[in-house]
Chains A and B, each alone.
Chain A
Amino acid sequence: MSEEYINELLDSLPLSFCFVNPLGVIVNANNPLQNLTGYLTTEMVGKNIDVLFFEKEEIEIFKKEISESQEKIEKEMTLLAKDKRKILIRVIASGQRDKKGNFNGYFLIFSEIKGKEEFQKELEKEVKQKTKALKESSLALLNILDDVEQSRLLAEREKNKTLAVIENFPEGLLFFNKENKLTSVNFKIQEIFGIKKKKLILGKKTPDLLNKYPSFTPLIKFLGEDEVKTTHRKELELKKDLILEVSVIPVVSKQEKLGTLVILRNITREKIVERLKSEFVSIAAHQLRTPLSSIKWVLKMILDGDLGSLTQEQRIFLEKTYKGNEKMIRLINDLLNVTKIEEGRIVYRLQEEDIIKIIKEVMDVFKEQSIIQNKNLKFEFIKPEEEKIIVQADREKLFLAFQNLIDNAFHYTPIGGNIKVVVKHLKDEGMVLTSIQDSGIGIPEEQQKRVFTRFFRATNTIKENVEGTGLGLFIAKNIIESHDGKIWFESKENQGSSFYFSLPVKKII
């Protein structure tokens, strides 16, 4: 084969190649390599092969490997084109030796890794995108961390604020955990109990507090020595001149009991004011009673004709005056009773009393009054089968309670109306039930909740000009409840009211 033919063949091959002598100088290069590198063959021939590669150091190693190797060597390298473009290529080197094994040079065959380049670009693009996404994610993460930190700061600030509120709360706060250990208190507690440092008492259980800190003794005894019991607004005289209102609330979160919160409110001042008010009312009432009783007696004697006969006109005026005086006496008695109830000064002396007899006595008085006052009320008393129903009662107080109930029925029932009193033995419950039903003006529904409170007067009673102090039912309720009884009512405006009270039965005769 002639050399010319070979050259032609090489030039027509699609592969780029060149032949390099042992010194690394390009001896020959075909057309495809011209196209790939941008160099003319004439420019390449005579130049060192290094010219075609970007990795100068690697090519030195590569050349050495080729001279020493008996086999083909394949490598990925970067071709440096004439216009300085970098082209990723696969190079296959094939060393040429003569029959004696002397190294004569080598062929280099270049094949462009086109796909690879694009792949690389894609990869780079993807990497860039991923990097961008990653950057964004990390920024987002930083933002989240920032938010979390801010939330934490906010929460901490809120917590500090809450703690500050608790610390400076004007009422004493104690928190006992589930094990009845005192876990937190505020400054007010230190003040009330004279504790210099909180840590002295924190973590202590109720019996420890009871034994080691005498100032706590009354409170712990009040709360319960082994377990803190729930209470609502109960009074405790911790020491002289220090009266507390104690509320104990279970603290529950998601149906789990966390512990108990004890709230102590200093009500000493209120109590003093209340006491002074009561004392004032009490003294004023006593002072008023003396002249009122004198007036009563004088009028009674005049009306009885003890001081000479009266004209009809004189009699009418005096009778009205007498009634007015009686009303004042009644009001003052009511006020005295209320102050006694408020101060807890009412002393009950319970004895066995027949409730039927007490009720009958009160009713007789009112029947007579109804006739005297021309009210013509129809009184009906439905007695039980039993002859006597004995209850443990303070006769006078029970008399007063029932009198107040009948008095209301009497006053709030118009002329010609009905009043029905029923006494019934509830055998199964061991109670005696008394009901007082009237056909009176009734209590407006929206006011019914306040019926048993002090000075309550329904708006319609004021409209109808019915007199009353607004104390009778308050007194009645307190008396009935002090007899372990219950009192309640049903009422419809313009139809009438029914009041009920039940008392435990001692025995039946």
Chain B
Amino acid sequence: MAKKILLIEDEELIRNLLEKKLKMEGYEAFVVENGVKGLEKIKEIKPDLILLDIVMPQKGGFEVMEEMQKDDEMKSIPVIIISNSGQPVELDRAKELGAKDWLIKTEFDPQEVLEKIKRQI
């Protein structure tokens, strides 16, 4: 059975691109545009991996992870952060909240995202 990847990202273009890329790679891809919908979707589909943006309207990436930490089931799902910045403080916070990896969008491309996913699942 295909692995389920959930992408929580507010940038439409990135969402569309990654969704396409993931599907082409044979994953079952789900996309939502903010943290609130993201948490609902996690509960609903129980993804194998989450690609999570940090700065988003309504609920940002850190808040999503904080809530995931409170839930034993959600806590175990690997999270890869995709963000436009990568300040050391942000990286520290992400590590504390259990993120597995971090990538800065300008430094990577979709192909490299796939490689990072493969390292986790």
Binding site for B on A (CB under 8 A): 286, 289-290, 292-294, 296-298, 300-301, 304, 306-307, 329, 332-333, 347, 349
Pairs A–B under 8 Å by Cβ, sample size 21: A286-B84, A289-B84, A292-B106, A293-B105, A294-B13, A296-B105, A296-B109, A297-B13, A297-B14, A297-B105, A298-B17, A300-B111, A301-B17, A301-B20, A301-B109, A304-B110, A304-B111, A306-B21, A332-B106, A333-B106, A347-B88
Query: Which residues from chain A contact B1 at a C-beta distance below 8 Å?
Result: none
Which residues of the partner chain A approach B109 to less than 8 Å between Cβ atoms? Answer: 296-297, 300-301
Q: Which residue of A lies closest to B14 (CB)?
A: A294
Interface of B is mostly: helix
Cα distance A345–B6 when bound, in Å? 34
Contact B84 A293 (CB under 8 A): yes
Q: In whole angstroms, how far apart are the Cα atoms of A246 and B111 in the complex?
A: 53
Q: How large is the interface on B (under 10, 10 to 19, 20 to 34, 35 or more residues)?
A: 10 to 19
- B2 at interface, CB cutoff 8 A: no
Indicate if the CB atoms of B14 and A293 lie closer than 8 Å: yes
Measured in the bound complex, the distance between the Cα atoms of B14 and A70 in whole Å is 152
Nearest 8 CB-CB pairs, A to B? A293-B105, A300-B109, A294-B13, A329-B106, A289-B84, A293-B106, A347-B88, A297-B17
Q: Which chain A residues lie closer than 8 Å to B84 at the CB level?
A: 286, 289-290, 293
Pick the most buried of B85, B89, B106, B110: most chain A CB atoms within 10 A of its CB.
B106
With A and B bound together, what is the CA distance between A304 and B20 in angstroms? 13
Interface residues of B (CB under 8 A from A): 11, 13-14, 17-18, 20-21, 24, 84-85, 88-89, 105-106, 109-111
- In the bound complex, how far is the Cα of B105 from the Cα of A294, in angstroms? 8
Q: Which residues of A contact B17 (CB under 8 A)?
A: 294, 297-298, 301
The chain A residue with its CB closest to the CB of B112 is A300
| A300 x B110 contact (CB < 8 A) | yes
Q: Distance (Å) between the CB of A255 and the closest chain B CB?
A: 51
Minimum Cβ distance to chain B for residue A495 (Å): 35
Q: Which B residues are in CB contact (< 8 Å) with A294?
A: 11, 13-14, 17
Is A289 within 8 A of B85, CB to CB?
Answer: yes
**B20→A296 contact, CB < 8 A:** no
Q: How far is B112's CA from A248's CA once the two chains are assembled, in angstroms? A: 54
Report the minimum CB–CB distance from B3 to chain A (whole Å). Answer: 19
Contacts of B111 in A (CB 8 A): 300, 304
A296 touches B13 (CB 8 A): no
User: Using Cβ atoms and an 8 Å threshold, which residues of chain A touch B20?
Assistant: 301, 306-307
